[in-house]
Amino acid sequence: MIALLIRDLRLAIRAGGGFGLGLAFFLILAVLVPLGVGPEPAVLAAIAPGVLWVGALLACLLSLDRIFALDWEDGSLDLLATAPIPLEGVVTIKAMAHWITTGLPLVLAAPVLGVLLNLPPEAFGWLVISLLLGTPALSVIGTFGAALTVGLKRGGLLLSLLVLPLYIPTLVFGAELVSRGAAGLPIQTALALLAGITAGSVAILPFASAAVIRINLR
Amino acid sequence: MSSFWEYANPRKFMQTTDWLLPVVAWSAVVVTATGLIWGFFFTPDDFRQGSTVKIIFLHVPSALMAINAWIMMLVASLVWVVRRHHVSALAAKAAAPVGLIMTMIALFTGAVWGQPMWGTWWAWDPRLTSFLILFLLYLGYIALWAAIEDPDTGADLTAVLCLVGTVFALLSRYAAFFWSQGLHQGASLSLQSGTRVDWAYKAPLYVSMAGFALIFVALVLAGTRTEIRNRRMKALVARERMA
C-alpha cells in the first residue's frame, strides 16, 4: 500500500501539469476576487472565509479526473483491482495521494492568500484548522465522483455536476468555522460537525468508490 | 400464491399496467382538477394574505412529491442493487425527471408566493436552499443516466449515486439549517402537532396532494413502460443484426 502511495505521488509530481495547477488556480482566484468586488478592506474581510473555502473546493475539483484517468487508460487499474490488496484500500490510497498533492498545498498556501483577502488576524488559525480537517473529505468525496465517471469519454463536466452538490455540507461547516472564528463566536459545533463529516466520509465512501470501480471494470 | 415480486417480471408488469395506467391517469386528472378548482375558486381569501394563499394548493403538493420521488428512487435503487430486477431500475430512471419537474414547480411557485409575502423572489432560507440542492442532485442523477451507454452499468452507477446522494442530501439539509435561520414558515401539516390550517383550506389541500401523488404514479408508470419498450426494441434490433 505504501508502495502504491509513493508511486502515485511520484506520478503526480513528475508527470507534469497536474501538480501545482490547483495551487495556481487557488492563487488566481484570490487575486481575481478583490479585482471583481473592489479593494474595500471591510468587504474583503467579510467575504474572505467563504472565498477561500470556495477557492479550495474548486481547486480540489480541478485535479479530480486525474485520480483514475491515467490508470484506466493504460490498464493499470485492472491490475490494481486484481492485486492482493483490497480495492477499498487502493481507493483510499488514491484519495490520500490526491490530498497530499492537492489538499495539503492548499492548506499551506491559504494563510498567504488570507493576507491578500484581508482576513481578520484571529481567523488565520481557524482557516488552517478548518482546511486541514475539511480537505480530506473533499478528496474522498471527489474520489467517489472520479470513480463514477472513470469510464466516460467526456466525464469532466459531469464530474463537477455530480461532486459539487456533495461538497455542500463540507463547505458550509468549513466556511462557517472560519467566519465564526473571525467573529470570536463559539466554534465547537462547526468544528465537531466538520470533523464528523470528514471522519464519516473517510470511513464509508471508499466502499462506495470501490463498488463503483468494480462496476466500471466489469 | 401471488407475490409482489411478480411485477418484477417485465411481461407481468406490462400486462398489469396496460389497464392500470389509464385508471391511474384518469383518476389523477379528476382528483387534481377537483382539488385545484375547489382550492382556487371555492375557498375564502385569507384575512392577511388575500388570494395569494391559494398558491399553497400547487406549492405544498409539488414540494411533497419532489421529496417523495427521491425516496421512491432510493427504494427502487435498493431493490435493483439487492434483487437485480430491471423494472425497478427503469422505474427509478423514469421517476427522476418527474421529481425534477416537481422540484422546479415547488421552487417557482415558492418564488411567486414569496414575492408579495416576503417582498423577495428568493432568500437563502434553509428550506429553499435544501430544495435547490435537491434540484442539483436530480440534475446530476439524470446526467449520469444519460452519459452511460451500457444500461446495466448505468443502472448500477446511478443506484450507488442515489444512495450516496441521499446521505449527502440529508447532511446538506441539516447544514443549511445550521447555516441560516429562515423566513419560511414551519410545516403547515404535521402528524404530531395540532391543527394550524383551517379545514376550509386543509380539505382541498389533501385532495390536491392525493392528485399530485396520482400524477406522479401515472407518469412513472408511463415512463417505465416506455423504457421497457425501448429495451425490447433494442433487443429486437440486436437480434436482427445477429441473424
Report, as an integer, the average pLDDT of A70-78: 85
Confidence of residue B193 (pLDDT cuts 50, 70, 90): very low
Most confident of A3-12, A125-134, B123-132: A125-134
Distance in angstroms (rounded) separating the CA atoms of residues B32 and B220: 17
Chain B hits for A152, CB-CB cut-off 8 Å, are 147-148
Q: Which residue of B has its CA nearest to A218?
A: B153
Residues in chain A closer than 8 A to B144 (CB atoms): 148-149, 158, 162
Pair B173, B131: CB distance under 8 Å:
no
Residue B99 has pLDDT above 90, yes or no: yes
Encode pLDDT of A22-32 as tens digits.
888 899 998 89
What span, in angstroms and rounded, lies between the C-alpha atoms of B73 and B161? Answer: 11
A144 close contact with B: CB closer than 8 A:
yes
For chain B, say whether A165 makes contact (Cβ under 8 Å): yes
Specify the pLDDT at position B188. 57
Residues of B in contact with A217 (CB under 8 A): none
| Cα B15 from chain centroid (whole Å) | 25
Mean pLDDT, chain B, integer: 87
Question: Is there a contact between B176 and A208 if contact means CB atoms under 8 Å apart?
Answer: no
pLDDT surpassing 80 at residue B187: no
Instruction: Quote the CA–CA distance of A23 and A25 in Å, as a whole number.
Output: 5
- A130 pLDDT more than 80: yes
Predicted confidence band of residue B196 (pLDDT cuts 50, 70, 90): low
- Kindly tell me if the per-residue pLDDT of B93 is higher than 60: yes
Q: Which of A158, A165, A215 sits opposite B136 (nearest CB)?
A: A165
d(C-alpha A138, C-alpha B170), whole Å:
17
pLDDT at B22: 93
Task: Centre a 10 Å sphere on the Cβ of residue A203 and count the other Cβ atoms it contains.
Answer: 10
Partner-chain residue, chosen from A173, A208, A215, that has the shortest CB–CB distance to B153: A215
Q: Could you say which DSSP state residue A185 is in?
A: -
Distance CA(B58)–CA(B205), nearest Å, equals: 9
In sequence order, what are the residues at sequence separation of 6 or more whose Cβ sits closer than 8 angstroms to the Cβ of residue A66?
A: A12, A18
pLDDT mean over A77-103: 89
Complex ipTM, two decimals? 0.87
Does the CB of A166 have a partner CB in chain B at under 8 Å? Answer: yes
Helices A188-217 and A87-98 cross at an angle (nearest 10°) of: 130
What are the Cα distances from residue A12, in Å, to A19, B185, B241? 6, 50, 45
Q: How many interchain CB pairs under 8 A, A with B?
A: 74
Residues in chain B with CB shorter than 8 Å from the CB of A211 are 160
Reference B34, options B236, B234, B233, B203; nearest CA is B203
Report, as an integer, the average pLDDT of A203-214: 93
Q: Which of A86, A73, A74 is closest to A211 using CA atoms?
A: A86
- Chain B CB contacts of A173 under 8 Å are 175, 178
Q: Are B80 and B159 in contact (CB under 8 A)?
A: yes
Nearest to A218 among B133, B153, B175 (CB): B153
pLDDT classification of A19: cutoffs 50, 70, 90: low
pLDDT value of position A99: 92
Average pLDDT over chain A reads 88
Closest Cα in chain A, distance from residue B140 (Å): 5
CA distance B100 to chain A (A): 15
Nearest CB to A215; choose among B143, B157, B178: B157
Quickly state the pLDDT bin for A12 (edges 50, 70, 90).
confident
Name every residue in B having a CB less than 8 A away from some CB of A: 133, 136-137, 139-140, 143-144, 147-148, 153, 156-157, 160-161, 163-165, 168, 171-172, 174-176, 178-179
Helix (H, G, I), strand (E, B) or coil at A104: helix
Q: Above 70 in pLDDT, residue A182?
A: yes
Give dist(CA A142, CA A68) in Å, integer: 11
Q: Percent of chain A having pLDDT more than 90? A: 34
pLDDT value at A210 more than 90: yes
Residue A81 DSSP code: H
Per-residue CA distances from B45 to A105, A112, B39, B48, B185 (Å) = 60, 59, 10, 8, 19
Question: With an 8 Å Cβ cutoff, are B168 and A168 in contact?
Answer: yes
CB contact under 8 A, B140 and A165: yes
> What DSSP string describes chain B?
---GGGGGSHHHHHHHHHHHHHHHHHHHHHHHHHHHHHHHHSSPPBTTTBGGGGGHHHHHHHHHHHHHHHHHHHHHHHHHHHH--HHHHHHHHHHHHHHHHHHHHHHHHHHHHHHHHHS-S----HHHHHHHHHHHHHHHHHHHHHH--SHHHHHHHHHHHHHHHHHHHHHHHHHHHHH---SS---SS-SSS---S-HHHHHHHHHHHHHHHHHHHHHHHHHHHHHHHHHHHHHHHHHHHH-
CB distance from A202 to chain B under 8 Å?
A: no
Q: How far is CA B187 from CA A27, B183, B195, B203, B207, in A?
A: 44, 12, 11, 16, 18
Percent with pLDDT over 70 in chain A: 98
Helix boundaries (H) for chain A: 2-14, 21-37, 41-62, 66-73, 76-82, 87-98, 104-116, 123-148, 156-183, 188-217
Q: What are the cell numbers at B228? A: 421497457
Work out the pLDDT band at B2, boundaries 50, 70, 90: low
Specify the pLDDT at position A186: 81
Contact B143 A212 (CB under 8 A): no
Q: Which of B115, B126, B110, B6 is nearest to B58 (CA)?
A: B110
Question: What pLDDT was estimated at residue B113?
Answer: 86
**Cα B113 to the chain's mean position, in Å?**
21
Whether A212 and B160 lie within 8 Å, measured CB to CB? yes
| The pLDDT of residue B46 is above 80 | no
Give yes or no for a contact between A148 and A68, defined as CB atoms under 8 angstroms apart. Answer: no
Nearest CA in chain B to A213: B157
Domain map (residue ranges) of chain B = 18-181+198-242
- Amino acid, single-letter form, for residue A165: P
